[in-house]
Every structure is written in structure tokens, then in C-alpha cells.
Chain A
Amino acid sequence: MKFRTFAAFVAPSIVMMLIFIAFPLVTVFLNSFRITQPVVEQVEVETCTAGFLEQTCTTEIKTQPVLDAAGNQVTTTEWVGWLSYERVLGLAAMGEALAEGAWAGILNIDFWKALRFTLTFTLITLPLVIGLGLAIAIAVNNAARSLKGPVIFVSLLPFIITPVIGALSIRWLFYGDGIVTALLEQWLATDISVAANGWAIEFLMMFYRVWHVAPFAFVIFYAGLQTVNQDTLESAIIDGANRWERLKYVIVPHLMPLIIFVALIHLMDAYRAFEEVVGFSSQAYRITLQWLTYDLLTPDDAGNRAISRASASAMLTMVGIMILLIPLLRRTWRDHHGES
């Protein structure tokens, strides 16, 4: 294919990615080092009220935004260096906590709280997703042929459902006097309040994520199971391997590339966790890195968005993604050079 034809085919896609992905990345990078805010001026206002003999006048100093000729607010942009990063990382509060030796105090700072949760969340759900996906794939593979279609249909539901709605559907089973909580209360004869307990919410968020992603792992492992070499399995039987050994030494090594693939995809997606916080309304107890950026971008009560701090927190989130990406990139690189 000549370069000109190639360019013509690819151009629309590249242009869109440049405008809407590469360009915003540059602005985010720049915005994280500068703060844009409305210019305010202090004016002396004299207010007079009618009084006997003389008017009573008071003067006070008011702060008000400067407006230009068209009536828009005038804004200034200042380069502030690492200030926004310092604020997001809460360096001042962190220094205090360290000086007092109160390590736990660090986890009260939003960013570190979010980082702690996101990492625990990602690392705990990873083996569960792979284990459950593999177990379902093997169970479906053993099931009668006529059952497979309906089983795959039902299994796809948690994966296909809108993430926020999926989280909500589990929340309604547990929050308040949800039926599962009610059953647990009856069984344990205690009062349980899920919505006010950080650890219970954390558990539910992980449960939701495993429920949501396991079908994806299942479908991929199931496809991989169809290509297991039957001759190898038979030789393993002749060599006296039992069921467990066959799973461990034949099937799992065969699926290994797929397990790595699922693990990488899951790491990237779980690190970007966001919908759980919305669905479980967990912001008072547990937040994720992406939610932190989202929260800074949402207008506060005065209608201001903390763009600079949001940009800084976005850049910090990206650092993590880059670390997670390195193994995936190396794999693609190897595949490419293996092919050619």
C-alpha cells in the first residue's frame, strides 16, 4: 500500500485522536502548572440612608469580580509551578502527619486515600476475577451441550449491564433494609448497617467488580478451552495424571497467554474504577483516583471548577497507568517483532 493511500484511509481517525486525545493531554499537562481565576478588585462603596438632619452614611470595602466591556468576567492565568500538585498530594498535611509520627493521618488526605483504595481494589479483585472466570469456563465446558447457549446468555448479563446500574442493583439488595442485609440480620441476630460502614462498602464494591468482569474472563477462557490439544490430555492420562494435575500442567499452561491478557486488561480497567463510587454513593468512605479528578471537575457550591488541581490529579493518575502499561507494550512489541 502506497503511503498516500494509507494516509488517506487513516487520516480521519488520526485527526480525531489528535484533536480529542493528544491535544487535551497537552492542555491538561499545561493546566496542571497554572491557575486561572477571575480578577477581583476591592472597591469602596458608600451607602447612605436617609436620616434626620443628616444622612447616615457607611463606607465598606467590597470584593467584586472585574467585568470587561461585554460584561464577562476578566480572568488571569498565573504560572504556579508545582503548587497544584502540592495541594493535591496534601504535602503540608502530610508533613505534619509525618512529624507527629501519625502514619495513619496520611490516609485522611484525599489523594492518598484514593490511591490506597484503588490499589487494594485492583490487586484483590484480580485473582478473584481470574479464578471465578476459569471456574465458570471449566464448569460450562463440562455442561451438556444444549445448556451452553442459555448459560452464556445469562452469564453475559452482568458484563453488558450499564456499570452504574449494575452497582445500583447490588446496592439495593444491601443498603437500608435490603433483603440480603435483612437475611443476614436474622441469621446473625445483630443489627447491620451496610451504608455506614466503610469496610462493608469496600467489600460490596469489590464484589460488584468481580461480578461485572468475571463474565469477560469466562468468555475468553472458554474460547481458549476449545483449543486445548486433546492428544496432550490423553497422553497425560496415560502417564497417570489425575484430574487436578491435568488442569495444573496441561490446561492452565495452555491458557497462560489468555490469563495474562485478561489480567492486564483487568489491571488497567480496575485502576480506572469510577462507577462504583457513584453507584454505591461511597464518596464519604471510599474514593478512587478517577473519582477524585471527577470531583474536582464538578462545580462546587459557588459554581467554580478546580481545573488546575483536577489537571494535577489527572497527571498523577496517568503516572500509574504508564507503569501498568509497560508490560503490555513490551508484549505487543515482542509479538510484532516475532511476526516480521
Chain B
Amino acid sequence: MSTPRAMRMPLGLRLASSGFLAFWLLLAAFPILWIAVMSFKSPVDAFSANPWEVITGPQTRGDGAGLSLLDIGLGAVMLWLSARIATRSLPRIVAQLTPPGLLVAGWLVGAVLFAVGFLVAFVGLLPLVVAPLEAVTGPFGRPVLGLTTEHYVAVWVDNAFYRNFINSMIVTAGVVTISLTVGTLAGYALARSGSALAFWILIIALVFRALPHSVLVAGYLPVFINSAQILEPILGENAPTLYGQPLAVIAVLVSINQPFTIWMLRSFFQNIPAELDEAARVDGCTHFQAFRWIIMPVMWPGVITTGLFSFLLAYNDFLVTSLLLDAQNQTMVPAIAGYFNRETTTTDQVEAVAAAVSITAPLFLLVMIFQRQIVSGLTAGAVKG
């Protein structure tokens, strides 16, 4: 497509436009990249006032933790190889080995195996190969870039951050599954029914979506803490205390998310022609059968997008989880507040940085894989309205 001459931009404007874009990209990525760099340095380097020292890490190198040119070269080759495997070979292998219909499960297994293989090769095998090579290559084997993984070890192993990780996974998995199951049913019915009742449900959902979460938590807290007494007449002796229970938090997050979910799914369902299920109904299907056999096979793009946003809500939440979960069931995001709230050593602060990077890494992968779905989800509600 060639742009008409009158629409073409003069050179100055084009330069200004791309200059602005470059500035925005730097602004968008810099804080995130910078904390990633900081997390690998010893405290003195990480909080050095000189940016160059933060990048090269002389102190970290002095402590004996550093990468040589050889390390960097081999590491880059390995990264390139694994990227190639992930984008070229992995899809082929998954497609060959999984029976049709189980593609999602196949991908999950494939991704986990790939991640394990990558970790074994990168953390296990690479150092074994590199150590003897470094001894013989002279200047290429000398460390040039300070880099240490001690903070990650401290966070994940010593401070048992993996427990918070598991809690986060439990909560997010629960929220995504339940809110999609409940939400698709409601979203489908709301998209197909033109009744006044459906309209009012949507309006009320809109009001609910705007509520500050702290308002709702103020309602839950007294009830959850005393739930054992309140539920005793109904459930008897083993009435649970809901405070601190991941299951209770899942239910809360699903409900908070429900208004958004049904609005989004409704707009996706409206894009599926109603003639499709009408045809099935003419052939004698009930509404449930039409939903199960006709709509479900074609609804996946919308469901995946909505699932992504449910995941983000549950994963990123601070307010609800920090107030309703006790210390041992705490998820990752509230747990990090523990690091920077105690005014302690700079080591603690770098560990907080490492924990922050650990929380961000999965999100980074998520945008990489699902960029298209995220964009379509953002525009779904807006462009038509």
C-alpha cells in the first residue's frame, strides 16, 4: 500500500515522530529493565549512584562473582538455540504427539518440559562445561561483568518465597477456572437475551465494577473472622473460619471480577452469529446442548482473552490478599511488602528487588505469548461502544 504523496510526512515531522516514539519506548522499558539489572548485583553496586557501576558491577566482580567473555558468548548461543527450539521445533513436536482435542494439555506439558530442560541445561550443564574452558582460554576466561544470583537464592530458598509462589498459583488457578466457568454461562445468556432483565443485570454489574475493593473487604472482614460462630447453627461443629483461607479469597476475587468478566464475554459472544445456535435449535438441540456442542468449540479466543485478564487481576492483587490471608497463606505481591517495610540493610532491599523481578518475569512471558489476545481484549469493550 503506497501512501498518497499529499499524506506523506515531511522529513522533520517524521524524525520528530520517531524520536518521540523512541523516547516513549525508553520510558516504558527502562524502570523494568533497570530493576532486572539491579537484582543481579551486590548491594553496593545495585544502589550505586553511578549508572555505569550498576551495569558493570565492579564490587560484585571483586567478590568473585562475574561473567567472562566466554560465559557471555556461550550463554548467548544457548539462548539463541533455545529460542529457536521454542519457536520452531516445539510447536511441531507438540502438534505431532498430542491427540486432537487435547491440544491445550499438550502445550502445557510441552511448555513445562521445555522449561525444565532449559533450566537443567542453563544452570546445571553450562557451568560444568565453562569452568574447565575458562581455565585454558586466558583473557577470555577472566570475569568482565559482575553478576551474582545470590539474591535469588536468598529469596527463593532461604526466605521460602516458593511458598508464596505456590499460594499465588493456587489462588490464580482457582480464580481463572471458576470465573471463566461461571462467566461464560452468564455471558452467553446475556448476549442472547434481549430482555429488560438482562439489561438491568448488566447495568448493576457496571456499578459493581466501579466499587473500590476496600469497600467490599470492609464488608468481608468482620464476617470472615467470626465465620465459625456465624456458621455454627448451619454447619455445626466443623464450621470453618474463612479468614486466611485461600478458598475464601478465590471466591472473593471471582466475584469481584465477575462484572468485568460477564461484560467482556458478552461482547465476544455477540460477535458469534446467533444464527449458529438458532440452526442447532431447529435441529432439536436444547439451549444447553447448543451451548455445549455449537458455541463452545468456537468461543475459545474470547475465553482465552478473558482468562488472561482474570489471571492478571488475581496475580496482581494486593489489597484483598493482604487483608484476607494470614502470613502462611500469603501470595507473592503482599509478601514483597514485608521486605521494603522493614527499614533494614541494603541486602534486604536488593532481595526485595530480586523478588520483584521474580514476580514480573511470568508477566513478561505472558505478554510475549499472548500479546494479540491482550490487545483484542482491551479493544473489545471500547471500539464498538
Contacts and interface: CB of A to CB of B under 8 A. Distances in A.
B344 interface: no
A140 B21 contact: yes
A1 to B, nearest CB: 5
A227 B382 CA distance: 13
Contact of A290 (B214, B219, B367): B214
B185 A156 contact: no
Interface stretch (B68-76, B118-126, B248-256, B298-306): B248-256
Given A257-B385, A335-B385, A324 B210 contact: yes
A182 B352 CA distance: 21
Interface stretch (A37-45, A50-58, A100-108, A305-313): A305-313
A28 interface: yes
A152 B311 CA distance: 20
B185 A12 contact: yes
Contacts of A162: 315-316, 318, 333, 359-360, 363
Contacts of B203: 329, 332-333
Interface string B340-366: 110000000000110010011001101
Interface in B360-385: 360, 363-364, 366-368, 371, 374-375, 378-379, 382-383, 385
Interface residues of A, number: 104
Contacts of A154: 25, 28-29
Contacts of B318: 162-164, 274-275, 278
A42 to B, nearest CB: 26
Nearest to A234: B4
Nearest to B339: A168
Contact of B9 (A6, A142, A261, A272): A142
A172 B383 CA distance: 37
Contacts of A153: 367-368, 371
B264 to A, nearest CB: 13
B207 interface: yes
Contacts of B316: 162-164
B271 interface: no
Nearest to B204: A17
A146 interface: no
B287 A1 contact: yes
Contacts of A289: 212
B35 interface: yes
A143 B18 contact: yes
Given A19-B255, A28-B218, A297-B221, A173 B34 contact: yes
Nearest to B4: A234
Nearest to A317: B212
Given A16-B251, A136-B21, A179-B54, A10 B218 contact: no
Interface stretch (A59-67, A87-95, A119-127, A217-225): A217-225
Contacts of A234: 4, 6
B212 A293 contact: yes
B80 interface: no
Interface string A142-156: 110000010111111
A177 B47 contact: yes
Contacts of B262: 13
Interface string B41-80: 0000001011100100000000000000000000000000
Contacts of B195: 1, 3, 6
Interface in B179-225: 181-183, 185-186, 188-190, 192-195, 197-199, 201-203, 205-208, 210-223
B13 A139 contact: no
B340 A9 contact: no
B76 to A, nearest CB: 19
B190 A321 contact: no
Contact of B215 (A36, A157, A278, A293): A293
- Name the prevailing secondary structure of the A interface residues: helix
B337 A27 contact: no
Contacts of B319: 274, 290, 294
B93 interface: no
Contact of A220 (B183, B214, B359, B378): B378
B108 to A, nearest CB: 21
B38 to A, nearest CB: 7
B363 A12 contact: no
Given A153-B368, A294-B214, A160 B363 contact: yes
Interface in A285-331: 289-290, 293-294, 297-298, 305, 307, 310-311, 314-315, 317-318, 321, 324-325, 328-329
A135 interface: yes
Nearest to A237: B6
A25 B193 contact: no
B312 interface: yes
A297 B201 contact: no
B215 A17 contact: no
A318 B215 contact: yes
Given A24-B219, A157-B29, A161-B363, A16 B378 contact: no
B364 to A, nearest CB: 7
A282 interface: no
Contacts of B218: 24, 28, 31, 293, 297, 307, 310-311, 314
A233 interface: yes
Nearest to A139: B21
A1 B193 CA distance: 6
A157 B217 CA distance: 29
A249 interface: no
B385 A261 contact: yes
B220 A274 contact: no
Given A28-B215, A162-B359, A163-B316, 4 more contacts: A3-B195, A177-B49, A290-B213, A307-B222
Q: Give the 9 A-B CB pairs with smallest separation, nearest first.
A: A24-B219, A20-B255, A9-B189, A13-B186, A182-B49, A293-B214, A169-B31, A314-B215, A223-B379
19 contacts: A6-B195, A12-B186, A13-B186, A16-B254, A24-B219, A28-B218, A154-B25, A161-B363, A162-B333, A164-B333, A169-B356, A176-B47, A216-B378, A219-B378, A261-B382, A289-B212, A298-B323, A318-B212, A325-B207
Interface of A: 1, 3, 5-6, 9-10, 12-14, 16-17, 19-21, 23-28, 31, 36, 132, 135-136, 138-140, 142-143, 149, 151-158, 160-166, 168-170, 172-173, 176-179, 182-183, 211, 215-216, 219-220, 223-224, 227, 233-234, 237, 243, 257-258, 261-262, 268, 271-272, 274-275, 278, 281, 289-290, 293-294, 297-298, 305, 307, 310-311, 314-315, 317-318, 321, 324-325, 328-329, 332-333, 335-336, 340
